[in-house]
Amino acid sequence: MPMKTQKITTDNQLIIERRHHAKTYKLTIDQASCVGCELCSLICPREAIKVTKKPKIEGEKAERPTIDVDEAKCHYCGMCVAICPYGAVHVAVDGENISLVVEKESFPKLIREISVDTTKCPTDCKECEEVCPLNLIKIESNSIKAQVTVEILKERCPCCGLCDVKCPEGAIQVRRIFTGKLRIDQEKCPSECRDCLDACPITGALFLDEKDKIRVNELFCTYCGVCKIVCPEEGALELSRSTIRHTPIRSGAWNKALEKLASTLEVTKELRGKGKKRAMEAVKKRLETRRKQIG
């Protein structure tokens, strides 16, 4: 039994903490980094995370949803840490940031594959820094030495690809974490409604066309689900995730999470892929054993 459990909510952070005789567990959500998406709430095994849509104030823009955590249900497993594409969630044990499920290899990490070739960067270019919707890129230039330093906060990057597409020199390459489909049913979409556009954390993922209809640019969509949560009309937005790039894993916990995050087809494809990999590994072992016996 815990000695003490507490919950602290500020403008910048949501913190829950549980103190035991031997250890102290702490979960922190960075309110500035959290976009109010549905990913952590979907995979939480204790259903401890709740996403709440904020009431719309007439005449004002829609706000992003809020995330709350039930301190009585949370057991600090770290699944929410591993799945958050925005790096907004942290779990600490005795002051050390750690994801227990990742450490025990029962849950994967998202793969953030971002490369920068600074030899292609002109010393006066700040295009990628300016287009990043989350302000995660900082550029320092030395015109005398003709050197450019590009720093990207990769742990908070959802890999939307804006910097990749907008870079005039092709110096940045980004591979998407999530792929999928986001479809808007224009017949169900309320006229003059801009809630999804207001709440979307990625500039350009949703946009207005020449007829003032909201459209999707799937080049930049991270499939986080914020738009679906704030949409006032049931069925106007359809979201499905088809692939999630992650580190290799063999885990029933991940399979259950994947069923909630992605389509049934994606789950089937991943399980088949794992089966093929295991078969190949078994064949390799047999061949190695055979070679040793012969040699």
Residue-range domains of the chain with CATH:
4-103 (3.30.70), 113-174 (3.30.70.20), 178-251+258-265 (3.30.70.20)
- From the first residue on, what is the mean pLDDT of each consecutive set of 10 residues in the chain (295 residues)? 85 94 94 95 96 91 95 96 97 95 94 96 93 96 81 97 96 96 95 95 96 95 96 95 90 87 65 50 54 62
Distance CA 66, CA 84 (A): 15
Strand partners, 144: none
From first CA to last CA, the distance across the chain in angstroms is 59
The Cα–Cα gap between 39 and 157 comes to 15
CA atoms of 263 and 266, how far apart (whole Å): 5
Strand partners, 180: 241
pLDDT digits (tens, 9 = 90+) for 131-162: 999 999 999 988 766 789 999 999 999 999 99
Handedness of CA 112, 62, 53, 227 (dihedral sign): negative
Residues 78-110 pLDDT 10s: 999 999 999 999 999 999 999 999 999 999 999
